Structures are given as structure tokens and as C-alpha cells.
Amino acid sequence: MQKLLHRGQESAGIVTSDGESSQTFKVHKGMGLINHVFNADSLKKLYPSNLGIGHTRYSTSGISELQNCQPFVVETLHGKIAVAHNGELTNAIRLRRKLMRHGVGLSTSSDSELITQLLAFTPPLENDDTADWVARIKNLMKETPTSYSLLIMHKDIIYAVRDPYGNRPLCIGRLIPVGDMNGKGKDNTETEGWVVSSESCSFLSIGAEYYREVLPGEIVKISRHDVQTLDVVQTSEADPSAFCIFEYVYFARPDSIFEGQMVYSVRRRCGQQLAIEAPVEADLVSTVPESATPAALGYAQKCGLPYVEVLCKNRYVGRTFIQPNMRLRQLGVAKKFGVLSDNFKGKRVVIIDDSIVRGNTISPIIKLLRESGAKEVHIRVASPPIRFPCYMGINIPTKEELIANRPEFYDLANYIGADSVVYLSVEGLVSSVQESIKERQKNNPTAQKSPGKIGHCTACLTGNYPVELEW
């Protein structure tokens, strides 16, 4: 969970089960970072246990929001279930009304409670003597198309589920026995257990290795020694899958693997593509550390320009107590970065950034570089401009805040003080993402094929949402 903190830092929770009783889970949740929520005592509370699910969440505010903290646990007629959810339901409002009309009082505003109550509620109930969880999950998928990646724990089973569009990531890792990680591949049949995670970057530090993705629409049953596909639900109209392209651009960790490729590699390819689309005569290429570094190295290599560091990150960035005057605001960015002026004095600098959302970070950086001696400053952005809101789980500023929707966008270089500024094209991004997936499919048409057609959600860039939005 520590390796997933970039996905959510405002609350954290773990629910464990001893795998025997359907009545007792051990739960610990709290607001704040994992290290704040969990300590030796709270972890002790979670033992003994054989399985468990955890969650780190990005929420909006305050202590009273603890009730929204995941995983959710409810008692049903067939025992307790615990649910961890990543995503956002596109038809949440209709579903809320439906449940309340049935007489269910809803305690939170969270979509995750909806999912939990839908699983509890699924009819037929009166004669439901056995709890057919797969039927309940499939019913859930019929009720709501996207977006959700789910872990559902009941007794000694964890169900891993990805929505039919595959909008949110989910992958499986294998815990390897101690002392047996030297070069032995996936043929090694011995495993110590299974882990499921939004991102594969979390496997290494717990001694697990990447096994495979959960496919769009797939319901996977995970028991102690077994991983078993129970069903793969297709999108209603055989639409292409719609994995969030923003995960590649910004959200995921560079060492995570999606669709068979490392995020870092995609980002470097974006940099290379950007060099093709928007070359510039300059003396050196650099980055705004650290997220844009792969693209910057790709750009530099493609252009044949040297890669040079111009900023160094300050490890300890603190609060600002005093209302800053104009000068201090101007130099606000100087709290976050040190300037390595000797590296670029008198030079023409290309800065690669991963995205420009509001435009108020890059502007003072350019000013800083100029004041420290840069002769020219050209900005190249390794992703297309963001123009539309996301309703499937990513927090994007309002349309009005997005620089790409503001009048300043038409003279952006001038507005941010750059000599030039160019974004990557949507086509360039999509091809940087899909190129190696397609190549792999061509070479090995049977390997882990997504049931639907290859596709990516580019809604925040293009406004093309994969499903109709309901209000």
C-alpha cells in the first residue's frame, strides 16, 4: 500500500479475515497517510489472518469523512463482505435513487457504498439460501457499466473484478517463496500466495512478482493457492476497451506495467514522438524533476542534444506561513527547486514537462531560468492539452481552470514567458501508447488478449467518453 500512496493519500484502511468465519473481519481504517493510520498496535489488531484487502483513498476533506474511508464492510444475510473500490460510477445518481426507493438508507455519498449495497441487495432475496456471489457480481456489472476495479472479500475468498471497459487498472502478482527469486520464471509452480494491486510497482517490495492483468470484465476468484477466472463480461455493444490514458501520462508510477508495457517506456516514447513532432534548435534538453525525466531523456536522445540538469529538487518543502509579497510569490517555486545556473548560463534550453494543467507552475520556472542566465527557454509538453472533466475516477480541475480552455491558451508562449511551447498531439500520444501493444499482439496473437478491441479512454483530452453519461 505504501507504493500506491501516489493514488490516494487522505485515508487508508485494511480489512483482514481469518478465512474461517463469515461473521468476523478485523478492520482498521483512518484519515491520513498510511504511516499515520497504521502502527505496530493497529497492525497487531489485524492478526491472525490469512487474507485481507486494503485501500488508500483520495478524499476531499476532514475527519468526519472517515465514514467514506475504504474498504467498506457490511453484514449481509450470508455473512460479512468487505469491498475495496477504485473508480467512479457513471450512473451513480440513478442507482442511489433505486436503492433508496427500496428502503435502504445510505450513510455516505460514496459510490463504493452503492456497490456494497448493490451486492447485499441483489434479488431474489427471499429464497436466496445460498449466497451466489458471482451472480451478484454479474448483476452489479449489469446495473453499472464503468468505472470500477474491485476487490470483494468474503470468508476465505477474494474476488478481483474489473469493469467491462477496463477503465481502471488491476493486476495480479505472485508471492515467491523465500530464497527463490533468482531467474526462475513463471513456470515456477510454487507460490506463497497471491496479491492483487492497482499497479504492479507495489509487488517488488513485498517479494512478489508480476503475474498478469485482470482483463476488462473479468471476475477472478482468488483463494489461497489458486487464481481462477469465473467469467469475462463483455461491454454491452462490443465497444473497444477504454483503459484510462491518463494513467500512462501522469497518474501511474513509471515502474508499473499496464497492457504488457512499462509506463516509463511509454513516457520515453512520448518524448521521442514529441522530438519528431516539435523539434527545436537549442543547446540542451532538461526536465522539471522528476516526473518528466523519462520524456526528457527520450526527447534529448531523439534530437541528439545533451541532457542536462537545470533544477534540483529540495527534499524538505515546508509550509509558507507569511502572506507572500509579489516577489516571494514570483519566487515561490524557488522553495521547491534549487537552480543549477552554472549548467545552463548563456545556453538555449528545452524544458520537457509532462503536462500543463493550469499553467501557474511552469511560468515561474521559466522566469527563474531566465533570471539565472538561460538565453532561450522552449517548452515541450509530453502530452496533449487537457480540456474536459473526467467522470471515471480522476480528479481534474474544472473546465474554467484548465489553461487549454482559457483565452490565454491562444498565446500560451507569451503567457508563460517561453520562447516557444508545443504539446504532443493526441494521435502521437495514442500511438506512443498502442504501438508496442499492437506489435506484441501481432507477434503473439493468443497472449493475454483483451476480449474487446484495443482502445483507450481519451475523454479528458478529446471529450469522447466511452459510455453515455447519466445524471
Region 214-233 residues binding its own copies, contact defined as CB under 8 A: none
Q: According to the binding rule CB under 8 A, does residue 100 interact with its own copies? A: yes
Radius of gyration of the chain (CA): 24
**Residue 390 marked in a binding site:** yes
Block residue for cell numbers 482468488: 222
- Determine the distance from the C-alpha atom of residue 151 to the mean position of all C-alpha atoms in its chain, rounded to a whole number: 16
Q: According to the binding rule CB under 8 A, does residue 447 interact with its own copies? A: no
- Residue of the chain from 107, 360, 414, 444 that contacts its own copies (CB under 8 A): 107
Report the sign of the C-alpha dihedral through residues 451, 457, 462, 465, in that order. Answer: positive
User: Residues 111-150: x/- map of binding to its own copies (CB under 8 A)?
Assistant: -----xx-xxxxx-xx------------------------
- Residue of the chain from 48, 60, 178, 237 that contacts its own copies (CB under 8 A): 178
**Residue 201 marked in a binding site:** no
Grid coordinates belonging to 92: 451513480
DSSP-assigned letter for residue 307: B
User: Which part of the chain contacts its own copies (CB under 8 A), choosing from 215-223, 247-255, 358-366, 438-446?
Assistant: 247-255
Q: According to the binding rule CB under 8 A, does residue 307 interact with its own copies? A: yes
Contacts of 47 (CB under 8 A, 6+ apart): 16, 26
Q: Which of residues 68-87 bind its own copies (CB under 8 A)?
A: 72-77, 81
Q: According to the binding rule CB under 8 A, does residue 309 interact with its own copies? A: yes
Q: Which of residues 47-66 bind its own copies (CB under 8 A)?
A: 62-64, 66
Q: According to the binding rule CB under 8 A, does residue 417 interact with its own copies? A: no
Q: According to the binding rule CB under 8 A, does residue 201 interact with its own copies? A: yes
For its own copies (CB under 8 A), the number of binding residues is: 100
CB of 78 to its own copies, least distance (A): 9
Q: According to the binding rule CB under 8 A, does residue 185 interact with its own copies? A: no
Q: Which of residues 365-394 bind its own copies (CB under 8 A)?
A: 368, 371
Contacts of 460 (CB under 8 A, 6+ apart): 246, 386, 387, 388, 389, 390, 394, 396
Please give the full DSSP string across 37-69, using - where no structure is assigned: H--HHHHHHT-S-SEEEEEEE---S-GGGGGGP
CB of 324 to its own copies, least distance (A): 10
Angle, CA of 146, 148 and 152, to the nearest 5°: 135
- Residue of the chain from 249, 280, 282, 297 that contacts its own copies (CB under 8 A): 297
CB of 140 to its own copies, least distance (A): 13
**Residue 419 marked in a binding site:** no
Burial of 307 (0-12, 13-18, 19+ CB in 10 A): middle
Compare residues 201 and 404 and give the one whose CB is closer to its own copies: 201
- Shortest CA distance to 286 belongs to which of 364, 366, 356? 366
Determine the Cα–Cα distance for residues 426 and 86; give it in Å rounded to an integer.
26
User: Residues 16-35: x/- map of binding to its own copies (CB under 8 A)?
Assistant: -----------xxxx--xxx
Report the sign of the C-alpha dihedral through residues 402, 403, 405, 407, in that order. Answer: positive
**Residue 107 marked in a binding site:** no
CB of 336 to its own copies, least distance (A): 8
Determine the Cα–Cα distance for residues 337 and 310; give it in Å rounded to an integer.
10
Angle, CA of 203, 207 and 209, to the nearest 5°: 50
- Residue of the chain from 237, 326, 346, 446 that contacts its own copies (CB under 8 A): 326
- Residue of the chain from 189, 325, 443, 446 that contacts its own copies (CB under 8 A): 325
Enclosing H/E stretch for 284:
strand 284-287
Q: Are 267 and 382 in contact (CB under 8 A)?
A: yes
Q: According to the binding rule CB under 8 A, does residue 290 interact with its own copies? A: yes
Compare residues 337 and 388 and give the one whose CB is closer to its own copies: 337
Grid coordinates belonging to 172: 495480479
Q: Which residues are annotated as a binding site?
A: 244, 291, 353-354, 390, 457, 460
